[in-house]
Amino acid sequence: QVQLEESGGGLVQPGGSLRLSCAASGIIFSINAMAWYRQAPGKEREWVATVTSGGDTNYADSVKGRFTISRENTVNAAFLQMNSLKPEDTAVYYCNAILKVNSNSVYRLYWGRGAQVTVSS
């Protein structure tokens, strides 16, 4: 019933910028937090950034100062502004949400299908 859809991926040059979007759709009662993860070729999936329902943000050390996560609670969307991109940022980026579909349900994890980000000259 619930779907997360990423958009905004693509190919950029080192030092460039890219903005990812994540839209949650379906029957949603509330979202506790939304986050971005990424998985580079040959590597494990790693956490990138999180924004809570209260607006608190946290970042992995590798992206601090370069990436900014934001959220539009009214439309159940999250964004990841990526600046000063490096080749090592190349990965499939996944949107994650911790949400429940009604007031009596538990919070569950939902994932998007991923968006490819390639940083190369």
pLDDT in tens, the chain (121 residues): 899 999 999 999 999 999 999 999 998 988 889 999 999 999 999 999 999 988 999 999 999 999 999 998 788 899 999 999 999 999 999 999 999 999 999 999 999 999 999 999 9
Contacts of 24 (CB under 8 A, 6+ apart): 2, 3, 4, 31, 34, 76, 77, 97, 99, 110
Contacts of 64 (CB under 8 A, 6+ apart): none
The tokens for 40 are 């580079």
The tokens for 99 are 């949400």
Amino acid 73: pLDDT: 79
Amino acid 63: pLDDT: 98
Amino acid 50: pLDDT: 97
Amino acid 116: pLDDT: 98
Amino acid 1: pLDDT: 82
